[in-house]
Amino acid sequence: MSTLIAIRDAALNGNGGDYSPAKEKASNRGVYNGGLPLLHLRLRLLFGGAKYKLLLLLCLLSVLYLLSSFMGWKPQYSSSVSSTSRGGYTVLINTWKRNSLLKQSVAHYASCHGTDAIRVVWSESNPPSDKLKDYLKNVVLKKSQTAHKPNFRFDLNEEDNLNNRFKPIEDLRTDAIFSVDDDVIVPCPTLDFAFTVWQTAPHTMVGFVPRMHWLKKEKNGMVHYRYGGWWSVWWTGTYSMVLSKAAFFHKKYLELYTHSMPASVHDYVSRERNCEDIAMSLLVANATEAPPIWVKGKIYEIGSSGISSLKGHSDTRKKCLNDFITLYGTMPLVSTNVKAGDARQEWFW
């Protein structure tokens, strides 16, 4: 306040004579060039000429940024993920007789900066043709945008079994596994952001497809759970699983799933041809005693059919959940309301 008074007095003294309201008005008009708003005057007095201009420039840039967002332009953020300097991730694609979708999926994930390797889980009776293998190898080399080209390989299995998608993989160079179905496309910036989230909690699952278990008691006193799909999560904001159709987890869980999980769970998945993703969620929750992390982001499903489209899918999933809990002897899932989002893409955070 003393600074403002001193400035005012100096301005008045420059005009000469004693103080009067008329002289003060005249002085203000002379100094500020005619009736600028009071806020403008105070800001200029407070910050000085150079700082005041800088503040106006920052405000102008902010307005231009907001206007550009309305017009559809979005800034491109350089990825902080590097497959060589930070380890990157291995994309593990599960496929079944959908070569056209597999080609699209491999081409897309080869273009992501964080992709260190792409492994395709192949469980068909006939091995992939040489033509398909050559095509996919060339696509990886062509689409990759880094000097370090992702390592591409098929992992062949002799039988059709959903447990195959979680078999241990030899020669992995990364700790991070991104498990994904062949018909799911996650944009590269969204995928790389999810990877940075996983790096903060590498022992839990981090993914894009949340689900929930809900406690339900029946009349006979036995505890049963209801499987909550997407609409349940959307309505309540609560989840306890992220499905492995689009999720990060540590490579150690491939070993644990195959060699440490109860054999009865393996047998169940083989027999029912379903619910391997629920089994993995239970495994990780049992090991960490912590919830997974749901990452906010758009994903695209480019396929038209799958197990989830079959009639009675929800009832099958509910039965799987309760049967697995019986086999485990406990309920390890932990619910949460936390969702990870990229603040650079948010207006309010």
What is the reported pLDDT for 55?
62
What is the reported pLDDT for 48?
55
- What does the pLDDT look like over 44-66, one tens digit per residue? 555 555 555 666 667 666 655 54
- Whole-model pTM: value is 0.75
- What does the pLDDT look like over 305-331, one tens digit per residue? 555 555 567 889 999 999 999 988 889
Residue from 116, 181, 192, 277 carrying the catalytic annotation? 277
What is the reported pLDDT for 64?
53
Q: Which residues of the chain have pLDDT under 50?
A: 1-36, 43, 66-86
What is the reported pLDDT for 250?
98
277 counts as catalytic: yes
Residue by residue, what is the 3-state secondary structure of 36-102? CCHHHHHHHHHHHHHHHHHHHHHHHHHHHHHHHHHCCCCCCCCCCCCCCCCCCEEEEEEECCCHHHH
CB 236 within 8 A of CB 163: no
CB 117 within 8 A of CB 152: yes
Q: How far is CA 19 from CA 2, 24, 131, in A?
A: 18, 7, 94
What is the reported pLDDT for 216?
82
What is the reported pLDDT for 307?
57
What is the reported pLDDT for 309?
53
